[in-house]
Structure 1
Amino acid sequence: MTFFMSQRKYVLDILDDRGLTGAKSEKFPMEKNLKLTLINDDLLYYPTKYHRLVGRLIYLTVIRPDIIYSIRILSQFMQEPRKTHWDAAFWVLKYIKGTLGQRLLLPFDNDLKTKYYYDSDWGGCRITQRSISDYCIFLGNSLVSWKYKKQTNVSKSSTEAEYRAMANACLELTWLHYILQDLKVSIRLPTPVL
């Protein structure tokens, strides 16, 4: 037995609301080499449309880890959205349109071995020069936790940024092990860090 988590209807509602049901889909969640800034063109006349769209996309990241990077970039411009930000949000919608079939797989017969992957991008945020941390944790073959976040402190080296990313992922992994223990689920240790 296998379970799938999908938000297909929610995505179709967003596409219909923005008039993109017949639009051509994109292959990537964001244009290659797109550099969004705070001051590159005119402000949007109705910023609430942008706020609503990005808010809906943030909710969609609950089961779509493939768009987290793009949505994190777009959410940085909520205070003063501009036309280029609006266009980038539409690009993400067109990508989502082309990947409607994506969903999370939760197989019933899992080996319950945890493993996690982490990474960081030293000075990855072009606006604040902070590093970006991300990780994903698997329970067997199922993706159960993921995060993509700007680090709270400015790292002085790529090694420090990697260490912070690993530490954040270890905290989440420890929490997950306690939750599984409370649920009387025995897991195989140790957990590989990749």
Structure 2
Amino acid sequence: MIQSEADHSVFFRHSSSMTSIYLVVYVDDIVITGDDHEGITQLKQHLFDHFQTKDMGKLKYFLGIEVAQSNAGICISQRKYALDILEETGMLDSRPVDTPMDPNTKLSPNQGEPLADPGRYRRLIGRLNYLTVTRPDISFATSILSQFLDSPCDSHWDAAVRVLRYIKGAPGKGLLYEDKGHNQIVGYTDADWAGSPSDRRSTSGYCVFIGGNLISWKSKKQNVVARSSAEAEYRAMALATCELIWLKQLVKELKFCEPSKMELVCDNQAALHIASNPVFHERTKHIEIDCHFIREKLQSGEIVTAFVNSNDQLADIFTKALRGPRIQYICNKLGAYDLYAPA
């Protein structure tokens, strides 16, 4: 087995007969997959001989993630984990809401009375952070709430409770992966300019699809204050470009596919113009490193940029609090469904 250079927890082996084995390890939990069935049997026997291991059979549960496989595809969710959070916080009987964060709410430090037990807040946010592994729809709210771990107040706790009420509406929501007949890599990137009321920093958000299936996403506050919406969008583009380059290295290494030009999708014409314009001027010299980085990838042909209407911007859900119908629309596009909803 060869250790992946892109992800050190992944090991793989490609045989001369064009078959492959993939092994993912986390501490003492291991997942093995591939199309080399004889090689997988030998690998498991090797592990039995050298370690005290137990074969749990077909993958159904891994690190709190539930896995369901059928001819239609593979579904992953964290229903049991979500219900455990609701039970521990006494929210199992709460009334559901259709948004994880009120669009009219702007949280800031020292907003309200300090919590008597801040550790309870920190534990809850830590658990919500892990829930975002299969719940991209709560990534933005969790990212905002994570900014107040140092000294949480009652307003921050109330906002966290709202996230729990949103989860209560569909604790079994997860991601569906299916064969859509192509292996194209596409990244959507967006930014909310000066969204933080306390320091006016922007929020970057992106999501990446391989073969039409959501693989990676992030909602993150930017490290510096952006002087324009174009600058905020451009910094988000740089963040998404790093993810695209890493994913390309990973899929090539695993021989999952031979990626063609990766597409970077943005809804800001000014940011796209900066990426394609070889002339630096006074307004962009302070973001010159990001400019060089993205333009280098464009000129090498590794990525191509594309414009998308704001209504079809799927990364919108990672940069701002949205209304219920908008969240539902984007979730459907992301492949995030309530797997336990009645048919």
1:11 deviation in Å? 0.4
Task: Give 2:87's aligned residue.
Answer: 16
Counterpart of 1:31 (choices 96, 102, 106) is 102
TM-score normalized by the length of structure 2 = 0.55
Task: Give 2:25's aligned residue.
Answer: none
- Per-residue CA shift, 1:75-127, capped at 9, x if unaligned? 11111111111111111000011022311112245511111100011112222
SS of the aligned residue for 1:193 comes to strand
Task: Give 1:73's aligned residue.
Answer: 144
1:124 matched to 2:176? The reply is no
Give the alignment of 1:31-180 within 5 angstroms. 31-108=102-179, 110-180=181-251
Q: 1:101 to 1:40 in 2, by over 3 A?
A: same
1:168 deviation in Å? 1.1
In structure 1, list runs of 5 or more residues that go unmatched: none
Alignment RMSD (CA, Å): 1.3
| Higher relative contact order, chain-length normalized (CA < 8 Å, sep 6+) | 1
Q: Is the 8 A contact 1:3 1:108 kept in 2?
A: no
Q: C-alpha distance in 2, partners of 1:58/1:101?
A: 16
SS of the aligned residue for 1:43 comes to coil
TM-score normalized by the length of structure 1 = 0.95
SS of the aligned residue for 1:28 comes to coil
1:36 deviation in Å? 1.6
Q: C-alpha distance in 2, partners of 1:189/1:126?
A: 41
Give the alignment of 1:178-189 within 5 angstroms. 178-189=249-260
1:188 deviation in Å? 4.5
1:26 deviation in Å? 0.7
SS of the aligned residue for 2:214 comes to strand
SS of the aligned residue for 2:248 comes to helix
Q: C-alpha distance in 2, partners of 1:67/1:76?
A: 15
- The structure carrying a bigger strand percent of its residues is 2
Q: Is the 8 A contact 1:155 1:161 kept in 2?
A: yes
1:184 deviation in Å? 1.0
Q: C-alpha distance in 1, partners of 2:165/2:158?
A: 11
1:158 deviation in Å? 1.3
Percent of aligned pairs sharing the same letter = 45
Alignment coverage as a number of residue pairs: 194
Q: C-alpha distance in 1, partners of 2:74/2:110?
A: 45
Q: C-alpha distance in 1, partners of 2:238/2:79?
A: 34
